Amino acid sequence: MVFSFLQTKTVESLKRLLDDGLRRLTFRDNFFSSVRTVTVEAGQEITVSHDLKNVPKYYILGSQDTEGQIVIGDQAWTNSTISIKNLSINTITATIIILG
């Protein structure tokens, strides 16, 4: 996000500009991340591509459409993919945030 400090004439207007801008920051603005929506069949493992250009350290499960458990898969994470697996008896569609 880009701020235009040239438009601020007072400390109050600068405070307002920063307050408004910081509330609009996205996850991508704050973290080196890649957001993906995936579908994982029951009991299956998949690889998920990302654009981080390095081996991620973490992932966050943002949401999923049914109950079940998605965990780190058995395949090694690389600078272009991660692996996750579904331990449940349900097919799960989930949004995951991959963090570099």
Q: How many whole angstroms separate alpha carbon 81 and alpha carbon 41?
A: 18
Whole-prediction pTM: 0.74
In the chain, the number of structural domains is 1
Provide the domain limits for residue 54.
31-99
**Does 60 map to a domain?**
yes
**Does 67 map to a domain?**
yes
**Does 62 map to a domain?**
yes
**Does 95 map to a domain?**
yes
Q: How many whole angstroms separate alpha carbon 18 and alpha carbon 7?
A: 12
**Does 10 map to a domain?**
no
**Does 9 map to a domain?**
no
Supply the mean pLDDT for the chain: 89
Q: Are strands 33-40 and 92-99 parallel, antiparallel or unpaired?
A: antiparallel
Residue 67: per-residue pLDDT: 95
Q: Mind listing the pLDDT tens digit for each residue in 83-95?
A: 999 999 999 999 9
Q: How many whole angstroms separate alpha carbon 39 and alpha carbon 49?
A: 13
